[in-house]
């Protein structure tokens, strides 16, 4: 695994740094007249909790995610459809000196997992069989129903219908 940053000694990098406007909160000035490069979606999302073994077991047993990498005491990576959920111990990831910059979170986080609109009822029954209480069920106008549960660290996990947000999740449901 290689870590690569900007070579601050290069003339191009120094010039780009000097001439670039820096975004700040509340800034209403446009940063650039050109559009940002295209993004393809979210590759990975982070979930934080101190008991990584309990979190991994929950996501594997309840959601059927597949473990794909593990660093003892620091993180576990799980395949979730075409994305990756990374379970992090925030006490470890907040420390400088890792491969990627320090990061973490305080309090419960939230992620939404996409399900076919037709499968929301099956998820409701699955949670009942697994003994996972549904904390909230929301019927979105013209978008179906979301189910909210909690993981062992208290994070809010939403099973969202693919029709939510104008159906942006529908392309992610195709099978390869």
27 within domain boundaries:
no
Q: What is the average per-residue pLDDT within 14-40?
A: 68
pLDDT at residue 171, as a whole number: 76
Range of the domain at 124: 42-173
The yes-or-no verdict on residue 11 having pLDDT over 60 is no
Task: Answer for the pair 61, 79: CB distance below 8 angstroms, yes or no.
Answer: no
Task: Answer for the pair 78, 60: CB distance below 8 angstroms, yes or no.
Answer: yes
Q: What is the average per-residue pLDDT within 102-107?
A: 89
Q: What is the average per-residue pLDDT within 53-78?
A: 95
DSSP 73: T
Could you give the 3-state DSSP secondary structure of residue 58? helix
Tally the domains of the chain. Answer: 1
53 within domain boundaries:
yes
Q: What is the average per-residue pLDDT within 2-19?
A: 52
Q: What is the average per-residue pLDDT within 112-126?
A: 95
88 within domain boundaries:
yes
Distance set, CA 17 to CA 8, 13, 152, 166 (Å): 9, 6, 43, 38
The span from the CA of 39 to the CA of 143, in Å, is 24
Per-residue model confidence as pLDDT tens digits over 144-161: 999 999 999 999 999 999
Planar angle of CA 82, 88, 92, nearest 5 degrees: 150
80 within domain boundaries:
yes
Per-residue model confidence as pLDDT tens digits over 67-87: 999 988 889 999 999 899 999
pLDDT at residue 36, as a whole number: 82
Q: What is the average per-residue pLDDT within 54-70?
A: 97
Distance set, CA 13 to CA 5, 21, 28, 57 (Å): 11, 14, 26, 45
All residues at 6 or more sequence positions from 124 whose CB lies less than 8 Å from its CB, including other chains:
134, 137, 147
Give the chain's mean pLDDT. 85
The span from the CA of 29 to the CA of 153, in Å, is 40
CATH of the domain at 90: 3.10.180.10
DSSP 36: P
Per-residue confidence band for 143, with pLDDT thresholds at 50, 70 and 90: confident
37 within domain boundaries:
no
Of 1-5, 30-34, 100-104, the range with the lowest mean pLDDT is 1-5
34 within domain boundaries:
no
Percent above pLDDT 70 for the chain: 81
Q: What is the average per-residue pLDDT within 33-53?
A: 88
């Amino acid at each position: 695994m290689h870590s690569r940053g900007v070579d601050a000694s290069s003339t191009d990098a120094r010039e780009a740094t000097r001439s670039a406007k820096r975004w700040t909160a509340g800034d209403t000035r446009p940063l650039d007249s050109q559009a940002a490069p295209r993004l393809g979606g979210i590759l990975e999302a982070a979930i934080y909790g101190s008991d990584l073994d309990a979190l991994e077991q929950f996501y594997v047993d309840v959601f059927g995610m597949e473990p794909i990498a593990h660093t003892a005491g620091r993180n576990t990576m799980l395949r979730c459809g075409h994305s990756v959920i990374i379970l992090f111990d925030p006490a470890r990831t907040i420390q400088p000196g890792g491969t990627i910059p320090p990061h973490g979170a305080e309090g419960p986080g939230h992620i939404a997992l996409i399900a076919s609109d037709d499968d929301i009822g099956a998820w409701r029954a699955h949670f009942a069989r697994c003994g996972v209480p549904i904390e909230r069920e929301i019927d979105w106008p013209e978008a179906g129903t979301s189910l909210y549960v909690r993981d062992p660290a208290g994070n809010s996990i939403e099973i969202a219908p693919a029709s939510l947000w104008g159906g942006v999740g529908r392309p992610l449901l195709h099978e390869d």
